[in-house]
Structure 1
């Protein structure tokens, strides 16, 4: 059962064709017969390789639009029979089953398909791979005789080992590959189960999939978490802590981002990048956020990325040093030229123009990551002995939903500023106070134990004039003193959830000071 095994026949059927041709050439070099299916066979033939069709091996054509091609006894018998078992050997000989010594398979990209905007239910279901996982499990179960290769990242090491051993693979290698294969199928089935659990009852199959959403989808009876390792990190929040990044396979969000420049991303980089990316996703207008330790030291909207960046930086240029930046538009050369004047750790954006890339190339350590928006429905947090799961905070308030509770109504400019401040405040650690004006944060009071202290701290650190600004509070003012503090700082209008037993006292204080105040009926605690 142990020892090296010669690879004489390999079955190749892959969705991700990265490195496939070079790997197949290495196999052919050692006299390995290549058996393949559909598009994989076409790719190999176009590269000049001799390939045997799966239908030739099975004596049965591929059918049902490719749904049935490898689900056949001559495939699974060739994989699963134990070479040193006399009864197995006799059975495969009797039925003309040829041994398959290596299976090279990766699966339909279900997560990517499921996360694509406008994907239909039929498309999603069609991208549930059946034959692939079946072959993977068969080969992994019989790892003592068969090598299962599920990732292009393993091609080089396998080719190197076969070169050194005249076409054979060690037992230890086959065991390592089998464990990886079982982890792949477990993660794949988990992704399907988790995705379908969030789908509302389907209408016609050609209509776009509608998620039942966090508000209506039940929490799962069993929480399935299977995320493949994306990369190991140098360390965690501190050098004495180990860390790694895992991804859901959707190629979206910060975990699925594409780094195009700079040093290796750190744990803290990733946490801060996620914070700034999520903040700028709040806005339809061009927006820039500068984050330090997950809190915005500046955020702004503008007609261009350059304008938004300058306004965001202006709010707190000292804290911005060594921060990370999130942008919800492609970064152009003009914005890049301005950003390179500041020491920045990393930038997240949907893209960068060639001019911007050339400009940023002068800052070789600066990390640039391209990001696609993620559809985060729920948020998970570990506590000792278990996990907490909650709906993601996707609450939004429009001007029409605000309730004016004071004698003075906010002006149109104040209303626009209040909505802006409210969206930023949602991404500030509680207790949170945000001072803002004209689509620009003026100052931020974050993470204070007292709401009055948050208001005082924000006012104290302001470098821009506060007079005529607005203020947002992530939760209600429990006493009039918080309202009085932001008014004394210069705020003329305030947005807060309301709901305190002392609301009437706070409203009376606002009326006395001539401050306009609106209630949202929604809070945004961020612990």
Structure 2
């Protein structure tokens, strides 16, 4: 049997949006409505006839509403196979339920609000998921709706089928329903995982934010899912103009905003293929953008620009001089928006605020047959933790640049080498198999900067250099010295540290060890 007339519906929802209109239309079609608690009250107040579930079961709601739908007459009505369980239906006076409309206690929102442990636990729904799973399993005879956004689709389905639902529609709704309960359980499991030292099992869930035209390449399908957290960034941003973001845009924009959030002073980061091609701080965002752009004018074309303050008109005009894919900032002035309005292909996003680089969160990477899970890199370097290991110590100005370069290196793919001077990168080497190659690439980039801005010498002269991991040999360090670097920040920890320190002393470098690395693969 494909088309099942909806004669009886059970409605129990936490989210009341659209509830009255849905129930009124069902009632007008002659559907008997069963309901519980607040849902029943809301419907009665709207003048809609409702039968209490407690009347159906013969048992009152109890334990502050914790027990109300966990009863054979409810689950029998949801699970009964009309063609196989007719005898049981008759023997136990089961009223088959053709439609279940349930959404769950707002556990995710309760956790996000910072509620205490007891409140979070009280918002773990038990009866709701049990009913949803029962109805979704019995898709041959029962239709389940878990999201208010599907109410119109349900009513259209019934209108097109003389008050019935078809099997393809019920199957679609069952898939949505199991996705909802899986995501709900994942949220609970993730919150509960703090009670285990290492969780025995992990669960991850997301909600479709938008289908994407394709993934990294046109032959790859893709979509963007949000995880329900309130971390500011690309997932929570408001898009003011421009076409939809692509898979690559989303990844690069996330990398950009996470980097720029590291700084308190006005800062700008320009990202290309998930790596920064220029980062700078300044007295103004316009000044910071200009210096970030100078670090690699070629790569900046078609890049992603992130700012850690309100985008103003002057900065917007500077950005608009070249083609830019995305600009993301906490806010933008009306004048800045007007500048970008003429750039129809530029996407402008505002986040309201910035992510906290120190906030703990989980990073997951899929591998064949499983997941690699780790704490996100929230390592923050305290200046007092630095160890000067060379005869010469950095000057105060060099120390400021070393700390700046170290923050940038955290966001550069390994092997990472970052040259910086006066609060701006002047050369970045990223993602090479050899640290020496990264040093040489960064040095060459510094020469390109000099040519672009008219310096008579490499922009790396009198710079500092940051390495995300230790120098295994002195060659990478010496390449930096040859490029003009005068101070180095690196984790230390190599078997050849003594050789590297000796080479630094011979070259007249100041070097500090962090005892912390920032691999980023």
TM-score range, shorter chain: 0.7 to 0.9
Q: Are 2:23 and 2:48, in contact at CA under 8 Å, matched by a contact in 1?
A: no
Q: Are 1:78 and 1:92, in contact at CA under 8 Å, matched by a contact in 2?
A: no
Task: Decide whether aligned partners of structure 1 residues 106 and 314 sit closer, same or farther in structure 2, where only a CA change above 3 A counts.
Answer: farther
The answer to whether the aligner puts 1:159 opposite 2:155 as a matched pair is yes
Structure 1 residue 434 displacement after superposition:
0.6
Task: Decide whether aligned partners of structure 1 residues 16 and 311 sit closer, same or farther in structure 2, where only a CA change above 3 A counts.
Answer: farther
Stretch moving more, 500-509 or 74-83: 74-83
Distance in 2, matches of 1:13 and 1:316, equals 58
Question: 2:403 — aligned with what?
Answer: 419
Residue 523 of structure 1 aligns to a residue whose secondary structure is: coil
Q: Are 1:257 and 1:369, in contact at CA under 8 Å, matched by a contact in 2?
A: no
Deviations 1:48-84 (A, max 9, x none): 5625264674566655554344444554344334444
Question: 2:97 — aligned with what?
Answer: 100
Question: 1:431 — aligned with what?
Answer: 415
Question: 2:319 — aligned with what?
Answer: 339
TM-score of the superposed pair, with normalisation by structure 2? 0.86
Task: Decide whether aligned partners of structure 1 residues 235 and 487 sit closer, same or farther in structure 2, where only a CA change above 3 A counts.
Answer: same
Task: Decide whether aligned partners of structure 1 residues 346 and 12 sit closer, same or farther in structure 2, where only a CA change above 3 A counts.
Answer: farther
Question: 1:203 — aligned with what?
Answer: none
Structure 1 residue 351 displacement after superposition:
4.5
Distance in 1, matches of 2:43 and 2:470, equals 65
Structure 1 residue 263 displacement after superposition:
1.7
2:133 paired residue among 137, 143, 147: 137
Task: Decide whether aligned partners of structure 1 residues 426 and 259 sit closer, same or farther in structure 2, where only a CA change above 3 A counts.
Answer: same
Question: 2:455 — aligned with what?
Answer: none
2:210 paired residue among 231, 234, 239: 231
Structure 1 residue 517 displacement after superposition:
0.8
Distance in 2, matches of 1:367 and 1:378, equals 28
Stretch moving more, 497-506 or 264-273: 497-506
Question: 2:86 — aligned with what?
Answer: 86
Structure 1 residue 343 displacement after superposition:
1.9
Task: Decide whether aligned partners of structure 1 residues 230 and 286 sit closer, same or farther in structure 2, where only a CA change above 3 A counts.
Answer: same
Q: Are 1:421 and 1:471, in contact at CA under 8 Å, matched by a contact in 2?
A: yes
Q: Are 2:112 and 2:230, in contact at CA under 8 Å, matched by a contact in 1?
A: no
Alignment of 1:438-453 (within 5 A): 438-453=422-437
Deviations 1:398-432 (A, max 9, x none): 11010001122112222121111101101112221
Task: Decide whether aligned partners of structure 1 residues 328 and 515 sit closer, same or farther in structure 2, where only a CA change above 3 A counts.
Answer: same
TM-score of the superposed pair, with normalisation by structure 1? 0.85
1:187 paired residue among 183, 186, 193: 183
Q: Are 1:246 and 1:255, in contact at CA under 8 Å, matched by a contact in 2?
A: no
Task: Decide whether aligned partners of structure 1 residues 383 and 351 sit closer, same or farther in structure 2, where only a CA change above 3 A counts.
Answer: same
Q: Are 1:77 and 1:92, in contact at CA under 8 Å, matched by a contact in 2?
A: no
1:264 paired residue among 244, 261, 273: 244
Distance in 2, matches of 1:149 and 1:328, equals 42
Stretch moving more, 361-370 or 456-465: 361-370
Task: Decide whether aligned partners of structure 1 residues 456 and 139 sit closer, same or farther in structure 2, where only a CA change above 3 A counts.
Answer: same
Q: Are 1:254 and 1:270, in contact at CA under 8 Å, matched by a contact in 2?
A: no
Stretch moving more, 35-44 or 416-425: 35-44
Task: Decide whether aligned partners of structure 1 residues 40 and 338 sit closer, same or farther in structure 2, where only a CA change above 3 A counts.
Answer: farther
Question: 1:178 — aligned with what?
Answer: 174
Residue 486 of structure 2 aligns to a residue whose secondary structure is: strand
Equivalent residues, number = 504
2:229 paired residue among 250, 273, 278: 250
Distance in 2, matches of 1:355 and 1:49, equals 51
Deviations 1:265-284 (A, max 9, x none): 21211221222122223334
Distance in 1, matches of 2:216 and 2:416, equals 23
Question: 1:211 — aligned with what?
Answer: none
Task: Decide whether aligned partners of structure 1 residues 396 and 25 sit closer, same or farther in structure 2, where only a CA change above 3 A counts.
Answer: same
Structure 2 unaligned blocks of 5 or more: 451-458
Q: Are 2:402 and 2:489, in contact at CA under 8 Å, matched by a contact in 1?
A: yes
Q: Are 2:474 and 2:500, in contact at CA under 8 Å, matched by a contact in 1?
A: yes
Distance in 1, matches of 2:55 and 2:316, equals 57
**CA RMSD between the two structures:** 3.0
Residue 492 of structure 2 aligns to a residue whose secondary structure is: coil
Distance in 2, matches of 1:130 and 1:327, equals 44
Residue 219 of structure 2 aligns to a residue whose secondary structure is: coil
Residue 265 of structure 1 aligns to a residue whose secondary structure is: coil
Distance in 2, matches of 1:284 and 1:61, equals 58
Q: Are 2:278 and 2:294, in contact at CA under 8 Å, matched by a contact in 1?
A: yes
Structure 1 residue 472 displacement after superposition:
0.4
